[in-house]
Structure 1
Amino acid sequence: MDELIDILDENGRPTGKTAMKSEAHKKGWPHPTVHIWFYTANGQVLLQQRGEHKDTHPLLWDVSVAGHIGAGEEARESAVRETQEEIGLKISEADLEPIGVFKSYHEHREDLIDFEFHHTFLAELKVPLSSLRKQQSEVESLDLVPLMQLAEEVWGLANPQKYVPHEVAYYKQVIRSIKQRL
């Protein structure tokens, strides 16, 4: 779905300009996104398998919830909206714990460049997996995996072809941050 988003400079600061998401991706313009990592009290992490018709990384496993921040929208507001849309879970802004903003650049092909600043949050998942409702157009599947399994597979790169290729430093920060809360 195309939407109006804010355009950032190369350091992640607002430029005051907006564009459609499709144009930003075509031209490689920096823009903000949200990533929300849900974890359980017993040390599991909610992963999302991307839909088979996604333009990038179809059927790879990724962050629990992710999406673009709409033009003029705050990161927390976007995180709440995306969580409701993608997994059918109602949360509040107070449920979100920020762990950083991560710069990410991926040139998938000449006309599709993701230059994003991921506003990344943690949130405790307090409902059973069976109560979540995935967005059919975006999400193929949802699963809970032990934190240590995720760490071994992405941090140690034991199974990198299974996951969206984020920077190892990004995965390390997410895993450390979750571990600190357990």
Structure 2
Amino acid sequence: MEEYVDVMDAEGRYTGESVPKSLAHSKGLFHPTVHIWFYTREGYILLQQRGRSKPTFPMLWDVSVAGHVSSGESISDAAIREIEEEIGLSLEKGELHLLGVFKSEQLHHKTLIDREFHHSFLCELNTPLAALRKQDSEVEALKLIPLHTLAEEVWGMANPQRYVPHDISYYKAVIKAIKERL
């Protein structure tokens, strides 16, 4: 059965309409997603390499955990669910710290239009990388890289073709917020 998502307007307000996720993408309807950025006290950030069968940005490095918010699901419940599904961690809502909500629009082709509001969280990673269990259908690989390397490669545009092309202001907000927590 296909997942349903709640439709939002261009300002991020819920419209009261719920549609299949495929329809939201084919029609370019705004809908909520969650992004969770994990970092370590030592200044590393957890990245996931998107699965090779993903319809968008296969094999590119991206946010630690990301996913759609199911219709009627709370943002925090979606974040906790996605963390469990994608990297096998069971966390409490209090461990997540809301960074903000970021509007994103990406036209992949005329029948795949991502219009999303990324509800983005930060969370300290207290589990060794080797203990994480990646979701094979979604995630090709996981790795920890120094935060300054991510900043150089996406913010400084030294190696952007390795990463999902989020807006530079989004990457800057994430990097700045993590630096403030270290």
Q: Do they superpose with TM above 0.5?
A: yes
The reply to whether residue 154 of structure 1 matches residue 143 of structure 2 is no
Give the equivalent residue in structure 1 for 2:92: 92
**What is the alpha-carbon distance in structure 1 between the residues aligned to residue 95 and residue 126 of structure 2?**
11
Over aligned residues, Cα RMSD in angstroms?
0.8
Secondary structure of residue in 1 paired with 2:134 = coil
Task: Encode CA deviations 1:73-98: one digit per residue, 9 max, x unaligned.
Answer: 11111000000000001111101000
The reply to whether residue 11 of structure 1 matches residue 6 of structure 2 is no
Give the equivalent residue in structure 2 for 1:67: 67
Alignment of 1:129-148 (within 5 A): 129-148=129-148
Task: Encode CA deviations 1:78-126: one digit per residue, 9 max, x unaligned.
Answer: 0000000000011111010001000000000010000000000000000
Structure 2 residues not aligned, in runs of 5+: none
Give the equivalent residue in structure 1 for 2:114: 114
Offset at residue 2 of structure 1 (A): 3.5
Alignment of 1:28-107 (within 5 A): 28-107=28-107
Letter in 1 for 2:19: A
Q: Under a length normalisation based on structure 2, what TM-score does the superposition of the two structures give?
A: 0.99
Mean CA deviation greater in 70-79 or 166-175: 70-79
Taking only the aligned residue pairs, the percentage that are identical comes to 60
Runs of 4+ in 1 over 3 A off after TM superposition: none
Letter in 2 for 1:57: F
Letter in 1 for 2:144: L
How many aligned residue pairs are there? 182
**What is the alpha-carbon distance in structure 2 between the residues aligned to residue 103 and residue 157 of structure 1?**
21
**What is the alpha-carbon distance in structure 2 between the residues aligned to residue 181 and residue 81 of structure 1?**
24
**What is the alpha-carbon distance in structure 2 between the residues aligned to residue 142 and residue 2 of structure 1?**
27
**What is the alpha-carbon distance in structure 1 between the residues aligned to residue 41 and residue 86 of structure 2?**
22
Q: Under a length normalisation based on structure 1, what TM-score does the superposition of the two structures give?
A: 0.99
Letter in 1 for 2:67: G
**What is the alpha-carbon distance in structure 2 between the residues aligned to residue 134 and residue 180 of structure 1?**
28
